[in-house]
Structure 1
Amino acid sequence: MMNFVLLSSLAISLVAGAIVRSPNAEPYDGYQVLRVKTGHHLKAVKEKLSTLSFEKWNHDIDRYIDICLPPDQVGAFEALGLDYHTMHENLGQSIDSESRKDCFSKRQNGDNSWYDSYHDYNDHIKLFEGFQKGFSNQSEIISSGTSYEGRDIYGLHLWGAGGKGKPAVIYHGTVHAREWITTPVVEYITEQLITGYTGGDALVTSLLDSYDFYIIPIVNPDGFVYTQTNERLWRKNRQPGPGNSTCFGRDINRNWEFGWNSNPRGASNDPCSETYQGEAASDTPENKGLDTLVRKLRDTVGIKLYIDWHSYGQYILSPYGYNETLYAPELGKWTKAASMLSQTIRDSSDAKTTFTFGPSGATLYTTTGAAPDHVYSIGGADFSYTIELRDTGNFGFILPPDQILGAAKEQWEGQKVLLSLLEEKFFDGQGPAM
């Protein structure tokens, strides 16, 4: 119990620390975010939209296109007569609201006030340091290297009875910088593992005694900091483009070795594109460090589960992403586990949050050089998923702070079930060990 009290008391000072005050809401004043229905009229919709200047948010264009429209384009858009609904009437106001929810009350044991707000990058580091100090005999701060701008890609390694060396569970958060919700969700799961173990929870004890957890909450620290200081909707890392290009950033989740550059629909070779894959596989320092850790765990303890946390859309996606018609031999068990995970999330959520599941390329869209494909095919993971968090399009990347805790709680309930399903006996019909 002493560790639990220490963990909570260390977090008190963080709650009273810096809350993100976005310096970049004003540039988006008057911008609208709109969901445009495509369906069977995709070609016609794209032709009409080609007359406008806007930023495209999503890639699931077979059903709809989410666009960020500047004020001077709104009238021209309305004249197109398209079928749409408004996600953000004024994106600048939404960004400002996202960043201004105060949370200064002292945090007590079991208090979730950290999850009432989005936080400054440095406070995220302090939170993980507090977690480690509160679980010091069974955890260690780890690093998967440094970012392009020299920031440490920090994480936490947790283990249970018997010491280190069990099969690995790996969580990656904030791969895409603007997907802020992924960071607190991964932090909440980390906290529940620690407090559950120190508090004697039987299921959590069993999980930590069976697996070592390697949790990296912010894979893309440079991009994340940039979203807090310069451009809220930045996606990539902050690596300069090649040659004379004036564009910055590579998409870390199109930069993994397996499947890289294997399908022209899966990424872009344009340095200005949001899905720019880089000049070569793993040519981002972030990816090199992450891949080194993956291969090390593969060769030492093996990887049981990998999850790449993203937003938005509410999907649970398994390999393959690089080929929409190629299915892995493990797809049956992955789909069965994803179905249970989806059902648990829905049943545990007051909002009855529904997650769609299936192989990535066939269920959502083609992605080459993506982490789950690589960690399965190269890293040998038994289970490998992308989880796209809330929501399905009311708010998109600018998810209000009052949804953070709900999003985190439903994922923790889902992880408890998913982690209990990892043993092969469940897929032999004997049921999960609950």
Structure 2
Amino acid sequence: MKSLLLIPLFLSLASCAAFPKPNRISYSGHKVFRIKTQHQLNSVLKKLSSLSFDQWNHDITRHIDIAISPDQLAKFEALGLDAHCMHEDLGASIAAESRRTSVWKRQVNDSSWYNTYHPYEDHKQYFNDLQASFPDNSETISSGTSYEGRDIFGIHLWGAEGPGKPAVLWHGTVHAREWITAMVVEYLTLQLIQGYGNDNVTTSFLDKYDFYILPFVNPDGFVHSQTTERLWRKNRQPPPPSGNSSCFGRDINRNWPYEWNSNPLGASTDPCSQTYKGEEPSDTPENQGLVKLVNELRDSSGIKLFIDWHSYGQYILSPWGYNCTLYADDLGQHTKLAAVTGDAIRETEGKTFTFGPSCSTLYATTGSSVDYIYGAGKADWAYTIELRDVGDFGFVLPPEQIRPSVEEQWLGQRVMLSLLDEVFFDGEGPAASAWDGEVRND
């Protein structure tokens, strides 16, 4: 695996300045509302159809979250919908989110890193510093390059006996605006590195598994969200040559080549949609590199656990995403592991994470990472974890919530990783059968 995955990363000087702001879209005066739907989603959307708005995440059976510009507010209020305001002034919330509350000393053991959000170049430097602090048991890796040519960098960690154990694969920032995900992935990496040899439980994780960790699956989109459009979600691929669309970007998490076209509710064919799935499976360079990495891990030591970190909503979601009436045959095992992980998370600050199959618990998603890596990558365990919160802040999570968010996820991972091989199995992994291109009918 080393020769397949190791691509040198070129260190660049991390910027000390605030996020650059060329042609930044202003959200001054925008409000964000959570609207109750109570199984009346179509009725609510019909009322909203006369407005222009940005729809955030939604739980179809209960609510949708939307951002409204100042010129649309009077029309929105006239609809009389049952709603509460998440952000009174989204522009002010974004400004507060990017404000520096402390100066990081550029040392891996300086925990002030987790007091604030950071520019992309600083994140690259931080991850290189993490690897340099653990040189005998790690290497820098890459799954390829983004559309705009940025390296999709990461780290590979292993224990005393060297690499070659079953893989734990984590990745974050699939959706550009979900800034908290990179902070969580970085904190988990830090805990593994600092705990190895100092904490028996953490040491056992690296002695049993190889960790492959990619904090920025969508670097182009993340940079765009910092410099230009804070709520940007997709990658930065130009519009498809067919058609008349001028809309950029594909949703990398609707682009995986597994059940890509099986459910019209799982993704969009409209290039302007936030969930645009592309013209064909895996037609983004970001996804092509990830598929190659997953297949290499599957065909070598195998994949023990995969987690795709997202925000927001506080969910732990297992396969399947593409079909709401088809359940994996190991659903009980996935559910039990998610439940005990959620219990551990709740011990930190009392935050509750809902768990269950992705489609039936939240909504349909075709061409998703979890379905591919469980169905085609044969991962024993596969989850999407949606981080904080449940409707106070959404994507624009205040810096004060970074530290509790990362700490509660580490407690959850300590439990999850401790139980992968020890509690629920009867001798064979739950995803033992190979994928031959057909749907796994569990």
TM range (shorter): over 0.9
Q: Distance in 2 between matches of 1:317 and 1:65?
A: 19
* 1:103-122 equivalence runs, <5 A: 103-104=102-103, 106=105, 110-122=109-121
Q: State the secondary structure of the residue aligned to 2:155.
A: strand
Equivalent residue number for residue 275 of structure 1: 275
Unaligned runs of 5+ in 1: 1-12, 430-434
- Cα RMSD after superposing both structures: 1.7
In the superposition, the TM-score normalised over structure 1's length comes to: 0.92
Shift of 1:52: 1.2
* 1:231-270 equivalence runs, <5 A: 231-243=229-241, 244-270=244-270
Equivalent residue number for residue 218 of structure 1: 216
Deviation per residue, 1:21-57 (Å, 9 max, x gap): 6667761000000001110433332221112111111
Amino acid at match of 1:285: P
Deviation per residue, 1:317-360 (Å, 9 max, x gap): 0000000111011111100000000000001x22x111000000
Counterparts in 2 of 1:107 and 1:225: CA distance versus 1, 3 Å: closer
Q: State the secondary structure of the residue aligned to 1:344.
A: helix
Amino acid at match of 2:224: Y
* 1:135-154 equivalence runs, <5 A: 135-154=134-153
When you count helix as a share of all residues, which structure comes out higher?
1
Equivalent residue number for residue 432 of structure 1: none
Residues 33 and 89 in structure 1, CA contact (< 8 A), matched pair in contact too: yes
Q: Distance in 2 between matches of 1:223 and 1:105?
A: 24
Q: Distance in 2 between matches of 1:23 and 1:315?
A: 35
Deviation per residue, 1:236-287 (Å, 9 max, x gap): 0000111142111000000001110110000001111110000110010000
Unaligned runs of 5+ in 2: 1-12, 428-442
Q: Distance in 1 between matches of 2:422 and 2:371?
A: 21
Counterparts in 2 of 1:108 and 1:288: CA distance versus 1, 3 Å: closer
Shift of 1:427: 4.3
**Of 241-250 and 276-285, the range deviating more from structure 2:** 241-250
Deviation per residue, 1:96-120 (Å, 9 max, x gap): 0000133216477854100111101
Equivalent residue number for residue 384 of structure 2: 386
Equivalent residue number for residue 75 of structure 2: 76
Equivalent residue number for residue 65 of structure 2: 66
Shift of 1:75: 1.0
Counterparts in 2 of 1:299 and 1:245: CA distance versus 1, 3 Å: same
Shift of 1:62: 2.2
Equivalent residue number for residue 332 of structure 1: 332
Q: Distance in 2 between matches of 1:376 and 1:338?
A: 16
1:47 corresponds to 2:46: yes
Equivalent residue number for residue 290 of structure 1: 290
Q: State the secondary structure of the residue aligned to 1:423.
A: coil
Deviation per residue, 1:211-259 (Å, 9 max, x gap): 0000000000000000011100000000011114211100000000111
Amino acid at match of 1:51: S
Shift of 1:176: 0.2
Q: State the secondary structure of the residue aligned to 1:39.
A: coil
Equivalent residue number for residue 102 of structure 1: 101
Residues 25 and 228 in structure 2, CA contact (< 8 A), matched pair in contact too: no
Residues 24 and 227 in structure 2, CA contact (< 8 A), matched pair in contact too: no
Q: Distance in 1 between matches of 2:407 and 2:18?
A: 22
Q: State the secondary structure of the residue aligned to 2:26.
A: helix
Residues 223 and 238 in structure 1, CA contact (< 8 A), matched pair in contact too: yes
In the superposition, the TM-score normalised over structure 2's length comes to: 0.90
How many residues are aligned here?
A: 413
Q: State the secondary structure of the residue aligned to 1:28.
A: coil
Q: Distance in 2 between matches of 1:107 and 1:154?
A: 19
Q: Distance in 1 between matches of 2:187 and 2:108?
A: 14
Q: Distance in 1 between matches of 2:206 and 2:39?
A: 48
